[in-house]
Amino acid sequence: MGKFALLFLFLFTAGIFAALMITPVSSVLVYQLVYFVNPDTRWWAASIPGLPYSFIAALVMLFTLTVRYKQLSPLAPWKQQPVFKWMLALLAMYGLMIVFAVVPAAHKSFTYDFAKLVIIILAAYKLVSTEKALDACLWAYTAGATYIGYIAYSVGRDGQGRVEGIGMVDTGGDGNMTAAAMVPALILLLYKAWMGNKKIRVLAIFCGAFIANGVVLINSRGAFLGAACGAVFFLFYMIFSRYQRKGQKGTAVLIILIGLAGTAYVADEAFWSRMETIKEVEDGGKSGSHRIDFWMATFDVLEDYPMGVGIQGFIELSPGYLPERYFERRKTGKATHSTWFQVLSEIGWVGFFFLVALLVSTFKLSRKTKSYLLATENYDAYFKMLALEGALLSFLVAASFIDRARAEMLYWLVLFIAIASNLYYLRYVDQANTNTPYKRGIRKQ
């Protein structure tokens, strides 16, 4: 049995034991481990028992929550979080569209998967009840992205200059989807590299190197734009915020220089050649330049199907809405290649409104949390909220060029902000209103 197989089995078993006997957050960490490692697709999969590891991890989460519900529920009430209202509205819309979907079998199957994701998100919100638990989840995510970066380094590019088939279970082996899930970790590592001690900074640079190199090898233009936007967002606040720590601006400049040097080191000619095609939208022969045609075709579809056409419906109907040249060498249809237009095509304008409302409510709650943190002079947590916002922003930018409306990473990033808002803001507001202090999970500010 290989070392990776042994390590996975050890962490999986130890995590389940810890979830049942020590701390409930371990069940969430086990779920994250299985999600990123995706053991069924690894070369060492034959040397481990053929168990449904993801299903087992989800069951452990739900069992742990059930056993400790009375203890955990008061610390993280679902009704306080407006994001869950919109998340459930999205799920309900997908459920309604089962009746009207153009490809009902596919729509029903993917809606079932989305329902499981929403349940997992709701359970994780209660299980991650302390600041240390949240930090552990963020590190687990970073470690998972680092592992994917290591796999990309080990496999190398294929004949098309890409790295495919190394991602998580919900990416279907697509490199663009894998890279989009990796880039938010880079923004979180900016925060860790700044706020952490020397050991944390070294670890952050180590993880960041593998993740950045993995994104470069995958050659995803959307992921590159996402990483750039998220980094600029966070570093802008580091440099220009009036809430400054000693050496903050100098650290930001140093991070920029290290980032530029690192990019110049790992980025090769193939990477820069692909990045140059971002601006070439006039030539329909260029890779990705035809996405605008797909986006515009979505509105034509909505004229005939105002409620949307369900999951994979656009792919099925696209030959009737796109020029014939897109299907000369293929028998299957085309996807929308954008999360925003994917939602429009799948569940119509109502569903699109629900997704926008979900994101707006997430950033609105984060803004309230940041205001409270500034009022209480908790600047470390304030910049952590900014890092979480930057991470979500980076994913949204990357997802604007691929279909990721039901991606696990999107809802986990929303979840991280919801958990942080609960830990740093909602609990204190509720405590002030009720004059009832919480027994655990509160860190003195």
pLDDT, residue 264, reads 65
What is the overall mean pLDDT for the chain? Answer: 88
Q: How far apart are CA 336 and CA 295, in angstroms?
A: 6
Provide the pLDDT confidence category of residue 25 given band limits of 50, 70 and 90.
Answer: very high
| Type of residue at 367 | R
Sole residue written with tokens 């979840």:
415
pLDDT, residue 297, reads 93
Number of Cβ within 10 Å of residue 12's Cβ equals: 20
Environment class of residue 305 by beta-carbon count within 10 Å: exposed (0-12), middle (13-18) or buried (19+)?
middle
Q: What is the mean pLDDT of residues 415-440?
A: 76
pLDDT, residue 444, reads 35
Q: How far apart are CA 29 and CA 19, in angstroms?
A: 9
> In which element (H, E) is residue 106 found?
helix 104-127
Its sign, for the CA torsion 38, 53, 30, 77, is positive
Provide the pLDDT confidence category of residue 1 given band limits of 50, 70 and 90.
Answer: low
pLDDT digits (tens, 9 = 90+) for 229-262: 999 999 898 888 777 777 777 777 777 777 767 6
Provide the pLDDT confidence category of residue 442 given band limits of 50, 70 and 90.
Answer: very low
| Type of residue at 265 | Y
pLDDT, residue 431, reads 64
pLDDT, residue 282, reads 45
pLDDT, residue 432, reads 60
- Please state the length of the chain: 445
Q: 26: closest CA among 120, 140, 131, 121?
A: 140
pLDDT, residue 240, reads 80
pLDDT digits (tens, 9 = 90+) for 54-73: 999 999 999 999 999 999 99
Share above pLDDT 70 across residues of the chain, in percent, rounded to a whole number = 89
The two counts, helices (H) then strands (E), for the chain are 18, 0
pLDDT, residue 435, reads 53
pLDDT, residue 162, reads 78
CB half-sphere exposure, 85, CA atoms < 13 A: 10
Note whether 205 and 165 are within 8 A (CB).
Answer: no
Going from N- to C-terminal start, the domains of the chain cover 1-67, 68-281+336-434
Provide the pLDDT confidence category of residue 273 given band limits of 50, 70 and 90.
Answer: low
Q: What is the mean pLDDT of residues 429-442?
A: 52
Q: How far apart are CA 404 and CA 364, in angstroms?
A: 22
Q: 226: closest CA among 379, 397, 362?
A: 397
Share above pLDDT 90 across residues of the chain, in percent, rounded to a whole number = 64
Q: What is the mean pLDDT of residues 80-106?
A: 95
Note whether 122 and 412 are within 8 A (CB).
Answer: no
CB half-sphere exposure, 346, CA atoms < 13 A: 33
Least confident range from 165-174, 281-290, 369-378: namely: 281-290
Write the CB contacts of 335 (distance below 8 Å, at least 6 apart in sequence). 294, 314, 315, 318, 342, 403
Higher-pLDDT residue of 272 and 34 is 34
pLDDT, residue 440, reads 37
Q: What is the mean pLDDT of residues 183-208?
A: 91
Pull the structure tokens for residue 393. 């922003």
